[in-house]
Amino acid sequence: MLEVFRVPPDLQENLIAFCGRQNCYNLQELDRFRNDLSEYCGAYLLYYQGDFSMYNLIKQANLNKCCLPIYVGKAAPGGRRTGRTTIGNTLYGRLSEHRKSIEAVDNLKIEDFAFKVAPMEIDLVSWGEAVLIRHFSPVWNKEISGFGIHDPGSGRAGQKRSVWDRLHLGRTFATKLPLGNTPIDIDALSVSITQHCQRMIEELYHFSKVMLELPEK
């Protein structure tokens, strides 16, 4: 039987604890941190605190502090083997793209979003993003697809408009994509999101209690 190398469990716990210690900033303040965030890759977390009814439980979870992210993403520079990087793949670049997406739609407000960042070494970025998505199971990663996609450009036969872009209308490139044949059942999606958020809030509460009860090393 092959021996499998596994990430030590406390490494994942260390990353989650690290994110818990990070400051949370309103997305409107992003340009304040441009110089610093343009120098780093890593993972980032977006938090929603607005009035879009489908995300009400997320808002409630984030009333006093950033607890339940609505999206987790990564900024991992391309061309790592050649040493080349692009501005769009820094933490600032990716968060700037998301800010533009939110500003473009008609039922979300940029002032209702906050963010945290977890700068890390390049080789850890994909792992770190995966750990945070598994832990927080954010709605825009698990229930509603399409927020983090780039403009697919022309000539993408068969490309359909994402669920995110059908709920949140306004991104220019998305308006050029066909809707597809299956309408969104808003009521069913709302129920699914509510149940998902309830489950995650309970799991995160349990996790935090366990972590508090663990003896210090």
pLDDT for the residue numbered 155? 45
Which residues, in sequence order, are CB contacts of 32 under 8 Å at separation 6+? 25
Q: Residue 124, Cα to own-chain centre: how many angstroms?
A: 17
**Cut 0.75: pTM above it:** yes
The CB-side HSE value for 154 (13 A sphere, CA atoms) comes to 0
Per-residue model confidence as pLDDT tens digits over 132-158: 999 999 999 999 999 988 766 654 546
Kindly report which listed range (87-96, 137-146, 202-211) carries the lowest average pLDDT score: 202-211
- The C-alpha atoms of residue 185 and residue 192 are separated, in whole angstroms, by 11
Burial class of residue 47 (count of CB atoms within 10 Å of its CB; 0-12, 13-18, 19+)? buried
HEC readout, 24-84: CEEHHHHHHHHHHHCCCCEEEEEEECCCCHHHHHHHHHCCCCCCCCCEEEEECCCCCCCCC
* Residues 108-118: tens digit of each pLDDT: 999 999 999 99
Backbone phi, psi, residue 175, to 5°: -65, -15
